[in-house]
Amino acid sequence: MYEFFIGDLFRVFSIFKEINNYIYVGKQLRKMKKKAEWKKLKLHKAYFNVMYTVINLPPEVYESEEQYWQVYVIEILKPTNDWLASWNLQDVVSLRVKNKVDKDKGYYFYLVKYVPMFTDLSIGWMIKWGLISCITWWAQVKWDIFAKFGTLLHHLVLFLHT
């Protein structure tokens, strides 16, 4: 039981670090948008500190095999990744590449998103601790549990002291 509580306690510190990193990414993106490289690399900022770019495949690439598409995307992203490393963002953002190629519809592009990383903070964790907080608050309002616990602890100390 105590391992569960201590593990979640350490997780809280990690979550504070992730929130700090999220704020750091937002500040860096605001600074980066003012630079000439931002437009040169065709970068865009979306909601929630997400940076993205679209890579259009030229005809000589999309008419070849799919493995060449991936090589082309990696080559195109190298300058962007190097630029992110110069801003110290390589450890706090993750790369998500979505293949949007559909030959039937004539779509030949990749959507590349750079998203702030969250490894410990999750919706499930927030729901769990939100419920625990609500139940604790409800029990405190209904039965004044902390005052009763304090009184019980005080009597226990007095008993043990005598």
Residue 64, pLDDT score: 86
Structure tokens at 106: 């004539």
Written as tens digits, the pLDDT of the chain (162 aa) is 456 567 777 888 888 899 999 999 999 999 999 999 999 999 999 999 999 999 999 888 888 888 888 899 999 999 999 999 999 998 899 999 998 878 788 888 999 999 999 888 888 888 988 998 899 899 888 888 788 777 888 888 888 887
One-letter amino acid for residue 93 of the chain: V
Side by side, the strands of the sheet bearing 51-56 are 44-45, 51-56, 109-116, 93-99
State how far the Cα of 97 lies from the Cα of 110, in Å rounded to an integer: 7
Contact 53, 39 (CB under 8 A): no
Residue 128, pLDDT score: 87
DSSP states of 102-145 as a string? BTTTTB-EEEEEEEE--SS--HHHHHHHHHHHHHHHHHHHHH-H
Q: Euclidean distance between the first and final Cα of the chain, in Å?
A: 32
Count the Cβ atoms, other than its own, within 10 Å of residue 64: 13
pTM, whole model, 2 decimals? 0.72
